[in-house]
Amino acid sequence: MTETRYDVVGIGNAIVDVLSHETDAFLADNDMAKGAMTLIDGDRAAALYDRMGPGVECSGGSAANTIAGLAALGGRAAFIGKVADDQLGEVFRHDIQALGVGFDTPSDRDGKPTARCLIMVTPDAQRTMNTYLGACVDLMPDDVDEELIAASAVTYLEGYLWDPPHAKDAFRKAARAAEAAGRKVSLSLSDSFCVDRHRDDFLDLVERHVDILFANEDEIMALYRVPDFDSALRHVRGHCDVAVLTRGPQGSVVIAGDEVHAVPAEPVDHVADTTGAGDAYAAGFLYGLTQGRDLATCARMGGICAAEVIQHVGARPDIPLADIVNSRVGAAS
Amino acid sequence: MTETRYDVVGIGNAIVDVLSHETDAFLADNDMAKGAMTLIDGDRAAALYDRMGPGVECSGGSAANTIAGLAALGGRAAFIGKVADDQLGEVFRHDIQALGVGFDTPSDRDGKPTARCLIMVTPDAQRTMNTYLGACVDLMPDDVDEELIAASAVTYLEGYLWDPPHAKDAFRKAARAAEAAGRKVSLSLSDSFCVDRHRDDFLDLVERHVDILFANEDEIMALYRVPDFDSALRHVRGHCDVAVLTRGPQGSVVIAGDEVHAVPAEPVDHVADTTGAGDAYAAGFLYGLTQGRDLATCARMGGICAAEVIQHVGARPDIPLADIVNSRVGAAS
């Protein structure tokens, strides 16, 4: 197999987050499903933005967060996603390129604004997300450069990509290109409501294309429509090479053939905002994997990264991740 | 005197901050004066933004931060400042209105973007600011509504307003309207470099128009060109009704005629980012003053607000300020 140019290329919705502290009553008054990611249209986005408190803007997007984390760890990373030719698009492009990530998907000039996610952080540090996809709906198969995919050890895809109309074709094109080049395909299930929207497609993907699956408890139970985690574990075993299941404060479980690793969560002083916890976990795990670490160490690295991002507002690392991870698990030999 | 509609109206540059963690070496490599606010043009802003790390965007602007803090405390507040008709302008307008601040200065449609301040936060939590004024240079005397000024107990002006070409005329118009209505005029000296640029005008303002002056040690020493704080104290006494001098970890000193109050700083666990410390202090102080508190309590309230904003990244309060202040100094009787 030829040398890789990137450890991981991510494909996802290119989103700028707008985070605000809100009460549970605010969620109820505005008909939000707490903890979920809900898709909203431009009118709803404008109305919700009018009602929400002062915000902080930072680049987001699930796969983009993972790629940003991977780059912050020292990994070689690239990203494919669609922003508009506007100020928020410039913010997204700047932030990911500033981390050294290869990102050259052309901006959309179709008049749709860059996607934004209005995130309500409640006093319990839970986040409730409302996403207006904007320019993301114009991500097309042509935006997927097959040579880039073939040159990347892992192609990482977010389940949310199933929401915009053409992105699933981009997604499939990427998966085929990765397989043809003998590379790995990784998928994050993103959100249990997203799983409900696209269950049959996701089951097919997991069965036929996915080498490394990321899901949290709710998502994996939703995928197999089972009421408990242990049943989900039995279902997922054998469906993909590696299944990585995160359980919040209960840590994570990695299943790979006959191997099972249950790894506790990292200790955390104060949880400020859980936005991006799963994305950061995937960053740490995939970085470990592409550095040749064993699966238990990969899970540990994922947990360390997740612990960092939940201790501040915003989904991306605030401090040099590589230093923290290396100090706890040791640099790669 | 007629009833007031607002406790404080602020006039200032309407700016969106872009904050990034950088090293001291980065400041040196990019010729930045650490701790200062430097004015930059659009080309320099683009070049610096290219070189800086991933950012977090939040509304800023010195007087705007003070007004936001005052509103968060429960004060009745209004703001006058110029944003563009663009996404960052929408962010600024949203954030200040979401706090209940009256803000209806029309957006600039002249093609200049909303002002931004590129803020480098170094590991010592010091901030170094690079401001591209953009649409702020189009703030005109016509933007100052004299009825609004007359209806506000205090008109608060930032020294930075002396930088854009027409704002000083807006500033003078506001000061005259406030005086004519028997209201108070308050000025923040903003920055010692700003004082160096406009010293004669500031001395004249302090002598003839300013009732409540805010300055830190460097600024008040720069104003009077004296080498130590005690000399500056002697100069400022009698130049304005109330001089409020902040000294960072040494707390603050309030001078009003024969009254002198030295108030210690509030204890802080961890300083994350000093951006907006002075602005938050002014918010707490002015809120106390307009609630009829004594000067020592006003200084204490200023210190509590400053302590809150330096414990997180960004210049505006992250948590309900009113609760914190009331729990420490007691609600107004």
- pLDDT by position in tens, chain A (length 333): 678 999 999 999 999 999 999 999 999 999 999 999 999 999 999 999 999 999 999 999 999 999 999 999 999 999 999 999 999 999 999 999 999 999 999 999 989 999 999 999 999 999 999 999 999 999 999 999 999 999 999 999 999 999 998 888 998 999 999 999 999 999 999 999 999 999 999 999 999 999 999 999 999 999 999 999 999 999 999 888 999 999 999 999 999 999 999 999 999 988 988 999 999 999 999 999 999 999 999 999 999 999 999 998 888 887 778 888 888 888 766
The nearest CA of chain B is from the CA of A54 a distance in Å of 4
Which stretches of chain B are DSSP H helices? 24-29, 42-51, 62-72, 87-98, 146-150, 167-180, 192-208, 217-224, 229-236, 277-290, 295-309, 321-329
The nearest CA of chain A is from the CA of B94 a distance in Å of 7
* pLDDT at B110 (0 to 100): 87
pLDDT mean over B56-79: 97
- Minimal-distance CA residue of chain A relative to B55: A95
What does the radius of gyration of chain A's CA atoms come to, in whole angstroms? Answer: 18
* Residues A54, B21: C-beta atoms closer than 8 Å: no
User: For B99, which of A54, A59, A316 is closest by C-beta distance?
Assistant: A54
- Minimal-distance CA residue of chain A relative to B317: A54
Query: From CA B174, how far away is CA B194, in angstroms rounded?
Result: 20
* pLDDT at A196 (0 to 100): 95
A262 secondary structure, DSSP code? E
Amino acid at A159: G
Domains of chain B, first to last: 6-13+61-104+138-329 (3.40.1190.20)
A195-212 in b/e burial notation, b at 16+ Cβ within 10 A? beebeeebeebbeebbbb
Interface confidence (ipTM) of the complex: 0.93
Q: Which helix (H) or strand (E) holds B9?
A: strand B6-11
On chain A, the residues whose CB falls within 8 A of the CB of B52 are: 98
pLDDT tier at B330, thresholds 50, 70, 90: confident
pLDDT tier at B157, thresholds 50, 70, 90: very high
* pLDDT at B203 (0 to 100): 95
